[in-house]
Every structure is written in structure tokens, then in C-alpha cells.
Chains A and B, each alone.
Chain A
Amino acid sequence: DIQMTQSPSSVSASLGDRVTITCRASQGIRSWLVWYQQKPGKAPKLLIHTASSLQSGVPSRFSGSGSGTDFTLTINSLQPEDFATYYCQQAHSLPLTFGGGTKVEIK
């Protein structure tokens, strides 16, 4: 199975900050990487697919990059609604696997 490692596990940031979350795959997955946002008590929401393609309706302050084994989710100009937990997931091969999550908290 492909292991997904996210860092950091949590980050404290202020409104307007730029936040960067990284995700590393245990083997190359080309660009088959997905990012989700999850708020407490809610289902995850798809933000980015194929590493850098923004899902319809997602604000442009979210961006993704990377290929192979190393990937990044960047949130520019953090907004109040962005405080949540973010997960990466590899979509290269089954079984699918998620990263451990990164909680973005208010500083």
C-alpha cells in the first residue's frame, strides 16, 4: 500500500496569513493526489484533484502543486472559513490511502 505522510499535524495561523501543508507519498504517484477540507461534524469537501486542479467552486486562494512523491497545499490570505482540517489522499492506485491530516487553527 502507498503510505501518505502529512506535515505539520497542526499549524496556528492568523487571518491573512499564507499556510503551506505538505504531503509525501511512499512511492511515486505522478499527479494523482487529492486534497480535502473537513470542518468539525461535517463530511470532507474536495478542494483539489490531480495535484493542482481546483475543484469547481473552490476559492482561488487555494492552490496545489507537486508530482511524484512530494506535494503542497497552499492557502493564501487565510480566511475565517479556512480554519479546518486538511487531508491528502493518493488516487494513483487501490487501495486508496489518506494522510493523517493537518489542523489549521487560529493563532
Chain B
Amino acid sequence: QVTLRESGPALVKPTQTLTLTCTFSGFSLTTSGMCVSWVRQPPGKALEWLALIDWDDDKYYNTSLKTRLAISKDTSKRQVVLTMTNVDPVDTATYFCARQKAVAGTSYIYGMDVWGQGTTVTVSS
């Protein structure tokens, strides 16, 4: 059974760095084609893709946020970590991680087939 679970602080102060951890089971991020994405959703708003890391340790970011984001993986711990620097109240959202599979050797990626439950982060002083 594939599962993902997000963890991190519920409250962060403006200008601080937010660190979120996605702990997964049931698959390996060393398997060709396997990827994990982070997605967020501000209250009452649409989904926004943030970042993806793949089995080959390639990393991709949301264009508007890429200067503030960093994604990494620890395959032995089965974790993917997302850091976001210099947070602002507009970063208040529920943050999800999700598994995806890529078509190796191409830019094509299948849908996010298994999601975590999400973790809610509020940015406030």
C-alpha cells in the first residue's frame, strides 16, 4: 500500500524558513520513473504546484517561487523535504505531497495518483 504523510510546523513567522517533510511508504524513489511533487492550496483557492524531485535526483520548481524553494530526498529514510525561505502571510496554505510517475527520458509525467492528507501552515507574527 502506497502512503504519503506530510509533517511540519503549523505556525511560522514572516521572513522565517519553512521546512516540510513528506514521509512515504510502499514505493521507492530509486525506481526509474518515480517522482514526488509538492502542491499547496491557500484557503478557498486553487491548487498550486510547487516542486518535483525524481528518481534521478533531478529537481524542478514553480517558476514564480523557484528562488525560495529547495527540494531534496533521503531515500534511506523514504523522505522528501521541501524548504521555503522568507515566508509571507500569502504562503498560508495546506501543503500536500503526492506521488507521480514519469515517462523516463521524456518530460511527460502521469497524474498524481497517491496524495498525503496535507498539512496546514499559517504564516503570522
Q: Is the pair B111, A101 in contact by a Cβ cutoff of 8 Å?
A: no
Is there an interface contact between A101 and B46, defined as CB atoms closer than 8 Å?
Answer: yes
SS class, residues of chain B in contact with chain A = loop
Q: Which of B46, B107, B115 sits near A87, CB closer than 8 Å? A: B46
Q: With A34-B111, A49-B111 known to touch, is A96 a contact of B52 (CB < 8 Å)?
A: yes
Q: Type the 1/0 row for A66-82, where 1 means its CB is closer than 8 Å to any CB of B.
A: 00000000000000000
Contact assessment for B111 and A97 in the assembled complex, using a CB-CB cutoff below 8 Å: no
- Are A55 and B111 within 8 A (Cβ)? yes
Main secondary structure on A side of the interface with B: loop
Q: Could you show 26 A-B contacts with beta carbons less than 8 Å apart?
A: A32-B109, A34-B110, A36-B47, A36-B111, A43-B98, A43-B115, A43-B116, A44-B47, A44-B96, A46-B111, A46-B112, A48-B111, A55-B111, A55-B113, A87-B46, A89-B47, A91-B110, A92-B107, A93-B107, A94-B52, A95-B61, A96-B49, A96-B109, A98-B39, A98-B49, A99-B46
Which residues of chain A have a CB within 8 Å of any CB of chain B?
Answer: 1, 32, 34, 36, 38, 43-46, 48-50, 55, 87, 89, 91-101
What residues make up the interface of B, taking CB atoms closer than 8 Å to A?
Answer: 37, 39, 46-49, 52, 60-63, 96, 98, 107-113, 115-118
